[in-house]
Amino acid sequence: MSAALDLSEAERSRILAKTARFAPPPAQLADGRRDLVGLTRDELAAELATIGEAPFRVKQIWHWIYHQGVTDFAGMSSIARPLREKLAQRFVIGRPDIATQQTSSDDTRKFLFRFRDGQEAETVYIPDRQEDRGAVCISSQVGCTLACRFCHTGTQALVRNLGAAEIVGQFMAARDAYGEWPSPKGETPRLLSTIVLMGMGEPLYNYENVARAMTIIMDNEGIALSRRRITLSTSGVVPMMDRAGAELGVNLAVSLHAVRDALRDELVPLNRKYPIAELVAACRRYPGASNARRITFEYVMLRGINDSLADARELVRLIAGIPAKVNLIPFNPWPGSPYETSSGNAIDRFAQVVMDAGYSAPVRTPRGRDILAACGQLRTESRRQHAPPTA
């Protein structure tokens, strides 16, 4: 047992070392000021100490940045003006720039964010149709290394990881765009109150920045989203699933998409490294999975490829005993994509087999397809400018 644990620890270190080569740019601006967004509380305390401020300021500034959403020290009205000015000389409260934004006919909105080094990633806000709330779909990387066959992002080589500030910044900038910070009357924001890490990139290949960003977002004195309102989607980076479960405890979504290794090897090439049996075993041991907190298995419906009744039966056999739901995602096409969406009939029949086995099997309504904002349609023009330094 402990040998197995040591092995997965070594594997985790290897993944982290490899992904560190795609590091985000430093938090220092060209003018020497430092971005406070993305720092842990301890790091924020250390920064404040450099200008002679005591640790108790952390709580106050944290509240302004993450609870009130201010982007300007001048707005921190509980802080005396000389200190506000001193802060503004040394620090900024950063946001990514909105390069463009588009709104779909179904009200889904896609933001193209440009970061300090000019690289770009997309974020999507998906309003709930019935309720007065919605989900923000956040990117974790610019591009992706994994090249899943059905995914538009997978056609864009990995440019780099997003930093914690850039990950939190997508959410905060989206809240800015909707004016969704607590009003002076103290009403709490509702619209942007769920996060899905389902945008560009593989979040578990950028674990440290994602973990740091989620820890900031979950902090009770700031944005204070509950871990139940955050879902991390992975294509199956098995060793990091254990760590995410233990450290973050957010909801887990797993991009399964095929129930036999031969097909999954082709659709999700990462399967060659972490095959289905290992992936399902990692789901079985994911902490906190229960009927109230089920693991979501995502299954993209590809016509004639993975949508047969035999596939559906094998799926329920594979996940037997796991508190789970199966999210059936009609394939969203993109320019040059090699697949077609399954017919409505095939999807219904597939869903019925899954439901007969006692699992809920919602069919995800495509949202924002007209602006290429639906699952798997995101991609930007960013490219690597320099070869990465060797590890």
Query: How many of the other CB atoms lie within 10 Å of CB of 26?
Result: 11
Site string for ligand SF4, 85-124 (x = CB under 6 A): ----------------------------------------
Q: Contact region for ligand SAH (CB under 6 A) — 40-48, 241-249, 324-332, 349-357?
A: 324-332
Contact 51, 57 (CB under 8 A): no
Beta carbon nearer to ligand SAH, 180 or 377: 377
Residues 6 or more apart whose Cβ sits within 8 Å of residue 291: 323
Per-residue contact string for residues 270-309; x = within reach of ligand SF4 by CB under 6 A? ----------------------------------------
69 binds ligand SF4 (CB under 6 A): no
Residues 367, 301: Cα–Cα separation, whole Å: 15
Give the span between the Cα atoms of 115 and 118, in whole angstroms.
5
Contact between 332 and ligand SAH (CB under 6 A)?
A: yes
Binder to ligand SAH among 135, 174, 198, 241 (CB under 6 A)?
198
Q: How far is Cα 175 from Cα 168, in angstroms, rounded to an integer? A: 11
Rounded CA separation 250/293 (Å): 10
* Residue 198 to residue 181: CA distance in whole angstroms: 23
Minimum separation from the CB atom of position 227 to ligand SAH (A): 18
Longest dimension (CA), the chain: 70
CA distance 282 to 277: 9
Out of 92, 112, 124, 148, which residue is the one contacting ligand SF4 (CB under 6 A)?
148
What is the spatial distance between Cα 300 and Cα 342, in angstroms, rounded to a whole number?
9
- Judged by CB under 6 A, which of 16, 20, 99, 147 binds ligand SF4? 147
**Contact between 375 and ligand SAH (CB under 6 A)?**
yes
Sign of CA pseudo-dihedral 74, 77, 79, 82: positive
Candidate ranges 1-9, 37-45, 77-85, 143-151; the one touching ligand SF4 (CB under 6 A): 143-151
Question: Which of ligand SAH, ligand SF4, none has residue 147 at its interface (CB below 5 to 8 Å by kind)?
Answer: ligand SF4
| Helices 164-177 and 207-218, axial angle in degrees (round to 10) | 50
Closer to ligand SAH by Cβ: residue 104 or 233: 233
Which chain residues interact with ligand SF4 by CB under 6 A? Answer: 144, 146-148, 151, 153-154, 201-202, 235, 255
Which chain residues interact with ligand SAH by CB under 6 A? Answer: 148, 150-151, 198, 202, 233-235, 255, 298, 300, 329, 331-332, 375-376
